[in-house]
């Protein structure tokens, strides 16, 4: 069994890191520890500080305050070309005038490694990236989009970095190829034991590949946790809404229950409701809201739209002047447009204003 992530020694640490541009804090008070051999993904809306954070890690920008440590040693002043890192960009940055093998072996050539050893090492890395040895002499311009992604990955592996960074490398690919490469990237990371740090706008990519996810907002880390933790137990309303659609009921505490004025009804609070809660939002994901004609205290509404989402179906329900989302795994639609809905308090989240 692999050692649990949180029990491994950290390879990279950020301690109180800020990056200030004039009077604007692009990154503010970030503390983060990334474990040896971890697949760590950074997500967040545009302008949240993801790219600035990565630029500081790889050495393209220096922190205004705080420390960046590699295996316990400060590297704030270490230039990018002296850090044992490599990055795979969205644009890939392959050399079009070179063959696949020449691209993969380029860093080895720069180190003065002999031609025979370069070819052997490059061929090994092509195999890791799921490309046959016959591709070594192929013109890189003759490769498909997915093959170019694999060439870029093989080139990064040939450099033998301690940490590989990925800047949205799959965003330009079609859905089927992207899904294939998601699984391949995770397999390669496990096989090599390398630390991967990945930036993406795709929540699906983050959930599929990551050991842990860091969610950024306004230059800060809003939450760090496993994919299951950030989805099922978000610490803030922002994180809950960032990771998929939600039903948000405005509620106030009343006689030990939660009163929802738009629906003119009360709900039981979740088991982990914060002490002293007065008002805020009760969050229920669409998959936890069910059609339930036998419910003792149902939410009554009317279905007015339905959408097929592959194997799932999402229904829009009008209730008390608000629109609710209900999601299920296909099957029979409700018998009538007038429906009764319910959810378990254990499947809800409560956030104070």
pLDDT in tens, 47-70: 999 999 999 999 999 999 999 999
In the prediction, which pLDDT does 5 show? 78
Closest Cα to residue 221, out of 23, 24, 27, 15?
27
User: Rounded mean pLDDT of 345-353?
Assistant: 96
Q: Global pTM?
A: 0.91
Quote the pLDDT of residue 109: 93
pLDDT at 74 over 80: yes
Structural domains of the chain, ranges and CATH numbers in brackets:
5-239 (3.40.50.300), 245-352 (2.40.50.140)
CA-based Rg of the chain, rounded to a whole angstrom? 24
Q: Taking 90 as the threshold, does the pLDDT of residue 2 lie above it?
A: no
User: From CA 297, how far away is CA 258, in angstroms rounded?
Assistant: 13
Residue-level pLDDT at 331 = 64
pLDDT band at 178 (very low <50, low <70, confident <90, very high): confident
Do 198 and 209 meet the contact criterion of CB atoms below 8 Å apart?
yes
Question: Is a pLDDT exceeding 90 seen at residue 172?
Answer: no
Q: What mean pLDDT comes out for the span 85-105?
A: 90
Task: Name the pLDDT band for 10 (thresholds 50, 70, 90).
Answer: very high
The arrangement of strands across the sheet holding 322-328 comes to: 290-291, 338-342, 299-309, 312-319, 322-328
Three state DSSP letters for 8-58: CCEEEEEEEEEEEECCEEEEEEEEEEEECCCEEEEECCCCCCHHHHHHHHH
């Amino acid at each position: 069994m692999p050692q649990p992530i949180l029990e491994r020694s950290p390879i990279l640490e950020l301690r109180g890191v800020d990056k200030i541009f004039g009077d604007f804090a692009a990154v503010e008070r970030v503390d983060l520890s990334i474990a040896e051999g971890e697949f760590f993904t950074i997500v967040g809306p545009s302008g949240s500080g993801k790219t600035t954070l990565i630029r500081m890690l790889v050495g393209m920008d220096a922190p205004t305050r705080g420390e960046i440590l590699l295996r316990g040693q400060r590297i704030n002043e270490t230039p990018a070309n002296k850090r044992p890192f490599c990055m795979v960009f969205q644009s890939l940055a392959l050399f079009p005038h070179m063959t696949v093998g020449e691209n993969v072996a380029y860093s080895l050539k720069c180190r003065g490694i002999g031609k025979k050893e370069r070819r052997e090492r490059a061929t090994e890395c092509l195999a890791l990236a799921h490309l046959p040895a016959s591709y070594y002499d192929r013109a890189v311009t003759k490769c498909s989009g997915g093959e170019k992604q694999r060439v870029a990955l093989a080139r990064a592996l040939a450099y033998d970095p301690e940490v590989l960074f990925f800047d949205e490398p799959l965003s330009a690919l079609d859905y089927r190829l992207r899904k294939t490469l998601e699984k391949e990237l995770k397999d390669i990371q496990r096989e090599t034991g390398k630390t991967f740090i990945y930036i993406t706008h795709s929540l699906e990519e983050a959930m599929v590949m990551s050991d842990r996810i860091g969610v950024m907002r306004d230059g800060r880390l809003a939450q760090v946790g496993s994919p299951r933790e950030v989805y099922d137990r978000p610490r803030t309303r922002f994180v809950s809404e960032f990771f998929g659609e939600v039903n948000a009921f405005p509620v106030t505490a009343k006689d030990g229950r939660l009163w929802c004025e738009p629906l003119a009804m009360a709900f039981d609070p979740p088991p982990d409701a914060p002490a002293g809660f007065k008002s805020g939002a009760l969050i229920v994901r669409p998959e936890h809201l069910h059609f339930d004609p036998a419910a003792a205290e149902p939410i009554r509404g009317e279905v007015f739209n339905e959408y097929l989402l592959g194997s799932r179906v999402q229904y829009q329900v009008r209730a008390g002047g608000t629109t609710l989302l209900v999601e299920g795994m296909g099957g029979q639609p409700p018998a009538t447009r007038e429906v009764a809905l319910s959810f378990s308090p254990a499947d809800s989240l409560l956030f104070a204003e």
